Amino acid sequence: MSKVFIVGATGKVGRRVGSQLVARGHQVTAMHRSPEQGQELRSLGALPVVGSLLELDTCGLSMLMAGSDVVLFSAGAGGAGMELTNAIDGRGLELSVEAANIAGVKRFILVSAFPEALRGGKISDGFENYIAVKKRSDIHLAETDLDWVILRPGTLVDSPGTGKVRAGLAIPYGDVARDDVAATIVEIIEQPKINRVIIELTQGDTPVGDAVRQLSRN
């Protein structure tokens, strides 16, 4: 059993990860901003804690993380503008990394973005900024001494997961169900040998568990 602290626990991916982790016997601490979100997280079996990346300092966040085995950063501004993207996807990640270091949490998993996302069409300034912030966050984490994993899923879709994916160090761009992203994260958490690696993820033909176990042998 792992004790997992989720930053972004009420997001579409974070909520799925929390639910799947609890179902597999892990202990989940789920950070959320609004008091009303706490009951929903508790109903999933997680321990809700109130905290905002826009308000916490490293000391306060590290206290919430204390005792965890793994930090999962799945928070994001969700297209709410460049300022919030910079604050949450950018500075929020840096804050969380520093807090994990202070708390002594060695393993850190970051949900990032596929670099080729939406290329070939008209890209807004806001989305260009989002991709740039995600890349800087990847670099920031990769330059630490943490046992990090950076997961870069393709375009996220809400259709039911198939339980099958394609995962690798460099793969063609494509879509992937949030259900399958969550399942992949759970498998990564359960495979501690997978660390200090960037993984790209799309829908595919390989069962999630097999895909992750293959990565542990690379």
Radius of gyration of the CA atoms of the chain, in A:
16
Residue 193 CB neighbour total at 10 angstroms: 10
Angle at 154 between CA 82 and CA 107, to 5 degrees: 80
Strand 107-111 and strand 70-73: the pairing is: parallel
> Do residues 188 and 165 lie in contact, with contact meaning Cβ atoms separated by under 8 Å?
no
Pair of tokens at residue 139: 């670099």
Going from the C-alpha of 47 to that of each of 22, 38, 41, 66, 183, the distances in angstroms are 10, 8, 7, 14, 20
Q: Which residues are catalytic?
A: 130
